[in-house]
Amino acid sequence: MHDSVIPTVRPLFRALATTFVPEAASLDERGWAEAEQIVAEFLAGRPAGVRRQLTLLLRLLDFLPLLRWGRRFRSLDAAHREQFLAAMQDAPLLLLRRGVWGVRTLAFMAYYARPAAAAAIGYRADPRGWEAPGRAAPGPATPRRVAGS
């Protein structure tokens, strides 16, 4: 049995996710459960040490704003959250930058890997490719004429 990251940092993860993906603020509890399940399944395949490092990074991102604004990340307004994460993405410490980009990637995956998000943006990829039902291979590309040519 693996230990899961999200339940221990759920409010913080949601605050980070809605900062990286503002559309995530519209998720209801069912949508969040689906998004968090996607992340949990992804992280389940990672070593326990990586999951502990992620938990530590998330907690660090929650406490670092105390030094500047006197409030934890999840207590900041949207503008300060964006300002803080922008500073972390450009931090001189490479490990911190990589960690923030990793959390950003998890937030994007959590939101956009949901079938509802894929349908909303018209994403219809299928592992069967053009052989999937309802798909037709695109015809040969035809060059577009430019006016005056």
- Given a contact cutoff of 8 angstroms between Cβ atoms, the answer to whether 76 and 65 are in contact is yes
pLDDT, one tens digit per residue, over 76-130 is 999 999 999 999 999 999 999 999 999 999 999 999 999 899 888 887 777 787 7
pLDDT, one tens digit per residue, over 10-57 is 999 999 999 999 999 999 999 999 999 999 999 999 999 999 999 999
**pLDDT higher than 70, residue 147:** no
pLDDT top residue among 60 and 121? 60
DSSP state of 91: -
d(CA 78, CA 73): 10
Q: Is the pTM of this model over 0.85?
A: no
| pLDDT score at 86 | 95
Place of tokens 């998004």: 35
